[in-house]
Amino acid sequence: MLALLWAAALAGGAGPVLQVPSDSAAAAIATRAAEVYRGLSAFQADFQQVIEDSMLGDLASSGRLIQAGTGKLSMQFSDPKGDALVMDGQWLWVYTPSTAPGQVIKMPLPSGPTFGPNVLAWLLDDPVRRYRISFVGAETVNGTQTDMIALAPIDPSLPFVRAVLWVGRDDGLPHRVQVKEKSGARRTLSFTRLRPNAPVSAATFRFTVPSGVRVVER
């Protein structure tokens, strides 16, 4: 369920990108974070996700995130155990046996400037052109000193109204992401045990349909 909500909320399209001035300090932080991100062969981290929704209440989940570029992502959930969200470069697979046993959803990958559930890609791919950026403050996240920047989409068709990114002051990596969706729901992803550029097997981004599971194409 959590994986499906995440995929559905972030799979929107977008129109032309405009350019507006951004807070200079925040823009510099975003620019550095984007450069660090572009230089990564892969990004791995444990994640803790919290969804705050006035209709559904608070939902928490956790697991392991691995991503490489804009089209490849693996979110393997340890809670709810067995849930998975995989982008293989062509398709997005959403498997949630915790709430929908016996089926997996398969859908084409959305294209930029949003990249479906790959939240890091659509926040760090050319952020200064795509968002109005402002400095929020500084905060220590899991022992790492970070700078907080807010990103407001210039394009109103994007599926969220505001995001906050916690960028490591020393490493330039994302340590936490918070997104406020148009529905009013707020999602927070916190990362621990970050492993930039750690080797990743091609099998990481390959979803194998379990025996007896029906594929539902959308």
C-alpha neighbours within 13 Å on the C-beta side of residue 197: 7
Identify residue 55 by its one-letter amino acid code.
Answer: M
How does residue 56 score in pLDDT terms, banded at 50, 70 and 90? confident
Query: Do 11 and 111 touch, CB atoms closer than 8 A?
Result: no
8-26 residue pLDDT tens: 554 544 444 444 446 889 9
Confidence of residue 112 (pLDDT cuts 50, 70, 90): low
Domains along the chain? 2-61+111-206 (2.50.20)
Q: Is the dihedral of CA 92, 183, 158, 162 positive or negative?
A: negative
Long-range pairs, 136-140, Cβ under 8 A, ≥24: 136/164, 138/169, 139/166
Mean pLDDT, range 113-128, rounded to an integer: 80
Q: Which two tokens stand for residue 208?
A: 């194998």
Tell whether the model's pLDDT for residue 4 goes beyond 90: no
Q: What are phi and psi of 39, to 5 degrees?
A: -80, -5
**Residue 15's pLDDT is what?**
44
115: confidence class by pLDDT, cuts 50, 70, 90: low
pTM of the model: 0.86
